[in-house]
Amino acid sequence: MTPRVPRQYSQSLGTGDFRFFSCLGSCSRGWGGVSCPESPNGRTTFKISWVWCGRGSLARAGILLAGVDRLAAKIGRGHAPWSSPLSLAREITREVYTNAGSTKATCRSSALLVIPQYHSQLRLIMKKPRAAVGNRSGRRKQASSQEGKEKCAFGSSQAKPSAPSAGPARQQKALLQASVSPYHLFRDVAEVTAFQESLLGWYDQKKRDLPWRRLVEGEVDLDRRAYAVWVSEVMLQQTQVATVINYYTRWMQKWPTLQDLASASLEEVNQLWAGLGYYSRGRWLQEGARKVVEELGGHMPRTAETLQQFLPGVGRYTAGAIASIAFGQAAGVVDGNVIRVLCRVRAIGADPGSTLVSQHLWSLAQQLVDPARPGDFNQAAMELGAIVCTPQRPLCSHCPVQSLCRARQRVEREQLSASQSLPGSCDVEECAPNSGQCPLCVPPTEPWDQTLGVTNFPRKASRKPPREECSAICVLEQPKALGGARILLVQRPNSGLLAGLWEFPSVSVNAEASGQHQREALQQELQSWVGPLPDMRLHHLGQVVHTFSHIKMTYQVYGQVLEEHTPVTIVPPGARWLTREDFHTAAVSTAMKKVFRMYEGQQPGTCKGSKRSQVATLSKRKKSSPGQQVLESFFRPHVPTDAPSLNTAAQ
């Protein structure tokens, strides 16, 4: 329902209480707006704003801005005798289309909505236009039939998706809006405000002291603030905070500004990123920094929309985090921690990775974000999920929003019913249990598990197991090389898995391939890099298993120490000989470090007490029998792991 216009504005606009009506149209790209704040002398002034949301050129955006500026100048000269918002909308539309060079054919029907904000400002917003589908009266009738519904209408004739002609995206949106129960929503502004105040109050007292937060709080330059947030958010994707702190500190010391990072080489970036995983993230950061410096004059985009549009590797979450924390834009964010918090607070048990559930979570995040402190609110929501509302053993008694948490309320009802030996009772607002028709409820195939408590929400979706691959790999060493012993490394291609990193020479082999076949394939690979090697006898050292995001790789590890007088040709580009010390600081993956630890553990004169490098060699670790259980397991409850993040990247 459209809010009523405050009385103090009715005289200045001469409109009284109006609700919803059509205007001539709006531009085919972007959102327009008009606000009329009160002035100290009691007279009404108008302010025109236009937010560019399309993918067209900046020149076209400038034309639109010129259009609204021209209208603003007309207002300033006193030529604004509008007797109704409709006439105001027509004037806006006329000026925008005149300056944009549009014709009637590009006009689209749109709506003008009156929304009071903060009791001191009236904002008239032109909604983004929609393509004409079907007859207009049919759409108005359908919209009015949905107005005012606040309870589930599962199975009713009114809760139907859009017509097939509306397109898949609109069908999904209509289906979600028609089928979501108020049980999964926030009832009113008071409940939203209570959530914001409770969460921010807790965050002010309990937030962790992290290096990126210190940098942002003490930085006045907006571009450097945004850069500091950008680096931290990219590093934190799929990586624990404790791991990121050291990498972030070294990164910002080496490249404190966008210009510093833009001038660095990809080799340097990979070298510092080595061991952090998901290596494409570092490459995207550098590509983005170069784009900002070379194409945007060194200035970061200021909104979530433009950040996502212009910066490579920046998705919806990262863009919202940068815009809210660095620039104060009221943009909600959804990551793995926020997913968990929202799913428990509103009892959302369906798969968070599905399109419908994801759309609803983003809608909730946008509804909840505090416009006065958007950056702090988003960080507070993520902090809550990281240290209180955890995947396992959540600390519900320490949660600042426990009184608003429907998951906790469900647990308390179940416990009360169990203590009184009564059948479980439903909340009066709750969805019909296991009806199978609410897209946000726990699926009926996965009934409520009392042993899980609030960790019933969200349910972890079944993931496709990583595919298994096998590779034969060789550590080739020159013990008597000039300057000390050296090992051979080759560089991976610039695209694909571990792009641009260095590794030991390897070949893909069948998991069932014999040792002789693996040796022959490796010898050919080694000779392609260093030429003929007489008397080569590759020694099998064992196997190393490393799981990437989507691949379970088994390395069959071989070692070869060259004789003192073995002739070695100069290696071609893409290969190099490194000392052992240089290897540990080179741009190599964690998997290669595992391989090298195994090699070191097999060499004469080295410490063979390194159990980590020998675990996979002959599987010597003693395993307990199936009937044997460790005492600790009796006290470890069965709980699900974290929900999948919506901001994934290929490792």
Q: How crowded is the C-beta side of 296, counted as CA atoms within 13 Å?
A: 21
Token code pair at residue 103 = 């014709």
Nearest C-alpha neighbor of 374 from the set 333, 340, 319, 337: 333
Rounded Cα gap, residues 559 and 334, in angstroms = 47
| DSSP secondary structure, 609-627, as one string | --GGGTHHHH--S----TT
364: Cβ–Cβ under 8 A, 6 or more apart, which residues? Answer: 185, 186, 332, 342, 346
Token code pair at residue 510 = 């069948």
Rounded Cα gap, residues 58 and 26, in angstroms = 19
Our CA dihedral for 385, 387, 393, 396, rounded to 10 degrees, sits at -80
20-26 and 575-579 beta bridge pairing: unpaired
Rounded Cα gap, residues 47 and 117, in angstroms = 14
* Number of neighbouring beta carbons within 10 Å of residue 292: 24
Q: Would residue 233 show up in a list of annotated catalytic residues for this protein?
A: yes
Contact status, residue 475 vs residue 629, Cβ threshold 8 Å: no
Contact status, residue 44 vs residue 80, Cβ threshold 8 Å: no
Gyration radius of the chain's alpha carbons: 31
258: Cβ–Cβ under 8 A, 6 or more apart, which residues? Answer: 223, 224, 227, 289, 292, 293, 298, 300
From residue 23, give the alpha-carbon distance in Å to each of 48, 74, 139: 17, 20, 16
Helices 189-206 and 355-368: crossing angle in degrees, nearest 10, is 80
Look at the block and give the residue holding tokens 């988003």: 378
Look at the block and give the residue holding tokens 């190599």: 588
88: Cβ–Cβ under 8 A, 6 or more apart, which residues? Answer: 34, 82, 124
Rounded Cα gap, residues 601 and 609, in angstroms = 8
Q: Identify the active-site residue in 91, 95, 233, 503.
A: 233
Residues annotated catalytic, as ranges: 233
